[in-house]
A = this chain, B = another copy of it.
């Protein structure tokens, strides 16, 4: 775990977070300028910028070049993907897939019969349009399918966990897609999961999601051997 240090930068970070919550600012809302904030907290601009970079790194604010400071979309998240991940050792990737195998199937079950399946169908339509071509777009649609399935279950914390796991292994996922060319199978498996969710069949949705993720793990294991 991270150790909390009472550095000036840490104190300033708390002050900016306090300003955001005391002013009732929401993600996307604009913050005062760097200069105004430095004056308000009686620090130099470089010192303030150190605190702002801490907040930027953890998604609490966005620093848009030439435009200013905004409250970040991730400020109220519980968990964050590590933005510093470079490459993942094989063992860690298999642990990550086992984590997905534990978490995602029950979420697919919870999603069954809840509102929002039409969004999932739209995502799959997007995947269909890229089946015979663009890796990047197909990959994006496939990842979105898993994110939206998790979101439909209605638990914001588990949605963040799934989002974090998907974000961190996106590079490996793209590579799998390129090597194995299993576009059609992925698509077909996603379609059967969608149909179970649309039909409100929780047990089938859960089992199909589990089987699908075990398939993904098998592909990764073969690649690692």
Contacts and interface: CB of A to CB of B under 8 A. Distances in A.
A225 interface: no
B17 A86 contact: yes
Given A102-B103, A163-B1, A65 B7 contact: yes
A205 interface: no
A69 to B, nearest CB: 13
Nearest to A154: B95
Contacts of A133: none
A74 B82 contact: yes
Within the oligomer, what is the number of copies of this chain? 2
A214 interface: no
A138 interface: no
A147 to B, nearest CB: 9
A74 B2 CA distance: 7
Given A86-B17, A98-B155, A78 B81 contact: yes
A78 B57 contact: no
A168 interface: yes
Contact of A158 (B2, B99, B164): B99
Considering the complex of A and B, which 5 residue pairs feature the smallest CB-CB distances, nearest first? A54-B57, A46-B46, A95-B157, A57-B57, A99-B157
13 contacts: A1-B163, A5-B63, A5-B65, A54-B56, A55-B57, A78-B96, A78-B168, A79-B164, A79-B165, A92-B157, A95-B155, A157-B165, A161-B161
